[in-house]
Amino acid sequence: MALTMLDKAAERKDTSQWSPEIAAEFERERKNPNPCVGSQLLSENERTRVWIIRLAPGERIGFHRHVLDYFWTSVSGGRGRQHVHDGSTVEYTYEPGETRHETYGAGEFKVHDLENLGDREMVFMTVEFKQSTNKPLPLPAHVRPQAAA
């Protein structure tokens, strides 16, 4: 798979301030993009993917790649830390109901993780729009909800 200009830019970013474990995980994601932008895929149809992230205090969701237009809503609020593909580390306090929309042009993406720095569960809902400029990344079969018997 050829690297896009953004992949090449991400390669040059300084992640030396990250722990060796975080830096190694980031390198694995760069080589094998993780399309799972949540802890659990709740629903998928021809237009959307709906995800939930539930993080206990101190828990972290690993690096994942956003290529589709999407929005997230913080259900619970809380405090989190992200390591971002540009080499930055960001800490942020989320308010309950806070929502952010993100849009990506051709070949653009965001890779990041998220760790719960708070003392209670942190919950987010994320809705991806499959009819975006970029094609959806294929999901592993084990991620899709199983049909009821």
Over the stretch 8-44, which tens digit does the pLDDT of each residue have?
A: 444 446 788 899 999 999 999 999 999 999 999 999 9
What is the pTM (predicted TM-score) of this model? 0.86
Query: Is domain 5-135 classified as CATH 2.60.120.10?
Result: yes
Per-residue 3-state assignment (H helix, E strand, C coil) for the chain? CCCCHHHHHHHCCCCCCCCHHHHHHHHHHHHCCCCCCCCEEEEECCCEEEEEEEECCCCEEEEEEECCEEEEEECCCEEEEEEECCCCEEEEEECCCCEEEECCCCCCCEEEEEEECCCCCEEEEEEEECCCCCCCCCCCHHHCCCCCC
Residue 88's pLDDT is 93
Question: Domain locations in the chain?
Answer: 5-135
pLDDT one digit per residue (tens) for the chain, 149 residues: 333 444 444 444 678 889 999 999 999 999 999 999 999 999 999 999 999 999 999 999 999 999 999 999 999 999 999 999 999 999 999 999 999 999 999 999 999 999 999 999 999 999 999 999 999 999 998 887 665 44
Average pLDDT across the chain, whole number: 90
